[in-house]
């Protein structure tokens, strides 16, 4: 069979994206990293080192050093020698991969130990690792949805939640405006009063799902309010209301001890999904909840049953990251992260840029124009700064932005250099 017609269709769609200025285009390939001595020593910079550049990244075929301002590795643990050493040790003793899915022969001792550690870290009875956070969301929702389930979701929830809901085929889906708690309560009240689906099916179970930290904005869900509203109405549903949060951007980067949005809002949802691939600096996703739910998911979740887990070495590296996060060094990294984020946000405000202030290290520079977003992203790149421009459909129309992400390996010099480039952009724009 020929791909000629499919090729023509694909090319036409790519041309449409080009015309809108929304095509992401070729990916930048990182070939090497220049790592400062203080990172190699496994510590944060002293005052003198803070006046110098942090890590610099080199792209394939490009000798210019770049400042990475779009990494999810919020604590800087991807380069931490203890985390690197843990993964190297794991490879030497247990090989490069699991070689099978969990129920065949792919379960190694580091997987089991990491799951116990994650459960304890989040104060839950049980935990379960997935190959990625996206796979975790896709793997958790469908087994919990049946023909009498209502799914209620925040308008700006992550793409993984949107697709997991579609895959689940709930009896009914409701979307409330972003962070609108009155609208959430109105939806639950409507179904509690006896509203059924179009086919007349009774709603017996409700899943209320939200991001913890919203990845494009850096704002957070008021989990305490969500839990309180759900507890108010759960008596009206035979199988209750289950609260679920995907806090992949929150865990390790938010809250006094890095336990994410739950810690910040002093609350706990029924099922928490998160990642090992952002602040913890490794790879993989996980869920923490009751023992019964985890045991059920091990038997029913396709994304768990039919997919290899993370490697044993990655599990050891993730455990090493948790060791750091739960130590005095972890607290220092979290404190530094908040300080650098506050400094950068203050600098953006001083320059007159629109942003969404908050303690989380995702700091959007809101542009609200697709072409201007692309122009500023390219300007930053030409000045040696890697930042991500986000356009529709990744963000809603009118919310186009540059998403900056601060991490603990940035120096004060890095923050000031980025602000200086943005100041120069404004000057050059006014000059033209």
97 closest CA partner among 299, 315, 287: 315
Query: Given a cut of 80, is residue 195 above it in pLDDT?
Result: no
Q: Given pLDDT bands bounded at 50, 70 and 90, which one contains residue 398? A: confident
Q: Given pLDDT bands bounded at 50, 70 and 90, which one contains residue 197? A: low
Q: What are phi and psi of 103, to 5 degrees?
A: -80, -10
> What are 336-357's pLDDT values in tens digits?
999 999 999 999 999 999 999 9
pLDDT value of position 20: 76
Query: Given a cut of 90, is residue 200 above it in pLDDT?
Result: no
> What are 60-87's pLDDT values in tens digits?
999 999 999 999 999 999 999 999 999 9
Class of domain 84-326: alpha beta
pLDDT value of position 139: 97
Separation of alpha carbons 331 and 351, rounded Å:
31
pLDDT value of position 355: 95
pLDDT value of position 248: 98
Look up the pTM and report it.
Answer: 0.95
Computed over every residue of the chain, the mean pLDDT equals: 95
CATH number of 13-74+330-431: 3.90.1150.10
Query: Given a cut of 70, is residue 432 above it in pLDDT?
Result: no
Give percent of the chain above pLDDT 70. Answer: 97
Helix (H/G/I), strand (E/B), else coil: 257: coil
| 183-212 mean pLDDT | 87
Separation of alpha carbons 426 and 262, rounded Å:
39
Catalytic residues: 215, 249, 278
- Domain residue spans in the chain? 13-74+330-431, 84-326
Neighbours of 180 (CB within 10 A): 13
pLDDT value of position 196: 60
Q: Given pLDDT bands bounded at 50, 70 and 90, which one contains residue 199? A: low
Query: Given a cut of 70, is residue 431 above it in pLDDT?
Result: no
Q: Is 334 left (phi over 0), alpha (psi -120 to 50) or beta?
A: alpha
pLDDT value of position 391: 80
pLDDT value of position 26: 86
Beta bridge partners of 210: 245
């Amino acid at each position: 069979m020929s791909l000629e017609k499919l090729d023509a269709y694909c090319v036409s769609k790519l041309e449409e994206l080009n015309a809108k200025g929304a095509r992401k285009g070729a990916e930048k390939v990182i070939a090497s990293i220049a790592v400062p001595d203080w990172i190699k020593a496994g510590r944060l910079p002293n005052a003198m080192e803070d006046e110098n550049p942090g890590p610099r990244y080199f792209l394939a075929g490009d000798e210019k050093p770049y400042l990475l301002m779009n990494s999810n590795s919020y604590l800087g643990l991807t380069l931490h020698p203890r985390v690197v050493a843990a993964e190297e040790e794991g490879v030497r003793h247990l090989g490069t991969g699991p070689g099978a899915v969990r129920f065949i022969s792919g379960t190694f001792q580091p997987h089991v130990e990491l799951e116990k550690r994650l459960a304890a870290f989040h104060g839950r009875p049980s935990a379960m690792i997935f190959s990625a956070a996206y796979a975790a969301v896709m793997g958790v929702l469908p087994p919990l949805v049946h023909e009498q389930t209502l799914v209620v979701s925040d308008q700006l929830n992550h793409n993984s939640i949107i697709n997991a809901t579609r895959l689940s085929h709930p009896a009914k889906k409701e979307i409330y405006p972003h962070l609108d708690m009155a609208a959430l309560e109105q939806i639950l009240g409507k179904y509690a009063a006896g509203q059924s689906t179009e086919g007349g099916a009774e709603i017996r179970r409700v899943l209320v799902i939200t991001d913890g930290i919203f990845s494009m904005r850096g704002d957070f869900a008021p989990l305490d309010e969500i839990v309180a509203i759900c507890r108010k109405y759960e008596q009206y549903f035979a199988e209750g209301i289950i609260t679920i949060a995907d806090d992949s951007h929150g865990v390790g980067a938010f809250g006094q001890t890095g336990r994410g949005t739950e810690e910040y809002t002093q609350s706990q949802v029924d099922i928490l999904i998160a990642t090992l691939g952002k602040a913890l600096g490794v790879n993989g996703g996980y869920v923490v909840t009751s023992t019964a739910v985890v045991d059920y998911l091990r038997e029913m979740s396709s994304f768990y049953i039919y997919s290899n887990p993370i490697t044993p070495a990655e599990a050891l590296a993730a455990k090493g990251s948790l060791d750091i996060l739960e130590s005095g060094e972890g607290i220092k990294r979290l404190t530094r992260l908040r300080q650098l984020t506050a400094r950068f946000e203050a600098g953006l405000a001083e320059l007159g840029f629109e942003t969404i202030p908050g303690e989380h290290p995702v700091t959007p520079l809101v542009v609200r124009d697709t072409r201007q977003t692309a122009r500023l992203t390219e300007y930053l790149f030409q000045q040696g700064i890697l930042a991500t421009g986000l356009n529709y459909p990744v963000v809603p129309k009118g919310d186009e932005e540059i998403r900056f992400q601060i991490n603990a390996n940035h120096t004060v010099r890095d923050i000031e250099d980025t602000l200086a480039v943005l100041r120069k952009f404004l000057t050059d724009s006014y000059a033209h």
